[in-house]
Amino acid sequence: MVDTNHPAPQGIEGPGFFATSLDAVVGLARKNSLWPLPFATSCCGIEFMATMASHYDLARFGSERPSFSPRQADLLMVMGTIAKKMGPVLRMTYEQMAEPRWVLSVGACASSGGVFDTYSVLQGIDRVIPVDVYVPGCPPRPEQIIEGLLKIQELAASESTRRRDSEEYKALLESYKIS
């Protein structure tokens, strides 16, 4: 039976063999084995718990193993209000993650500070670390978080294995003063 939802990468088929590019195989593996590190505060953290629970079951998308160690995670999911004092901790967590790494900003507070336009709240985590996908909402529904994860999966599947060595990516990290 052919699975049309997850087609095989482009390649040459024959009896007993399948040939494709290394980037396509690595992308397929990365896409279906993301290990998220939840950096959750406030109500968005509660929505993430609902997303991981049996009704929505994030494990269906290959993310059933949340990692609470940055060295073993490749997806940083930042959810909820981030105080300015937490900014350096968030940045250190990001820097400790191995490449390739992706960041998902969940909720209005993580994306833009939300309704908390105060001196103590970071007005978007993109002031501290680069963000790949933003999930809007206050708090976002579990379906929205799943949609954000699917967008990250698309990035992981389509990203070249050499993209992280590109001058463009190095310039992005340099703009955040990340070595």
pLDDT of residue 155: 92
Q: If you classify domain 31-175 with CATH, what class do you get?
A: alpha beta
Q: What is the 3-state secondary structure (H, E, C) of 102-127?
A: EEEEEHHHHHHCCCCCCCCECCCHHH
Lookup: tokens for 42: 């406030």
pLDDT along the chain (179 residues), means of 10: 62 76 86 92 88 88 86 94 95 94 95 92 95 94 94 91 85 89
Strand order in the sheet with 102-106: 36-40, 75-79, 102-106, 133-135
What CA–CA distance (Å, rounded) separates 117 from 166? Answer: 36
d(C-alpha 124, C-alpha 26), whole Å: 31
What pLDDT does 27 receive?
87
C-alpha span between 112 and 65 (Å, rounded)? 28
CA distances from residue 83 to 13, 27, 54, 97, 110 in whole angstroms, order as listed: 53, 35, 31, 21, 10
> Is the full-model pTM beyond 0.85?
yes
Predicted confidence at residue 86, as pLDDT, reads 96
Residue 36 makes CB contacts below 8 A (sequence gap 6+) with 58, 63, 66, 67, 73, 75, 76, 77, 104, 149
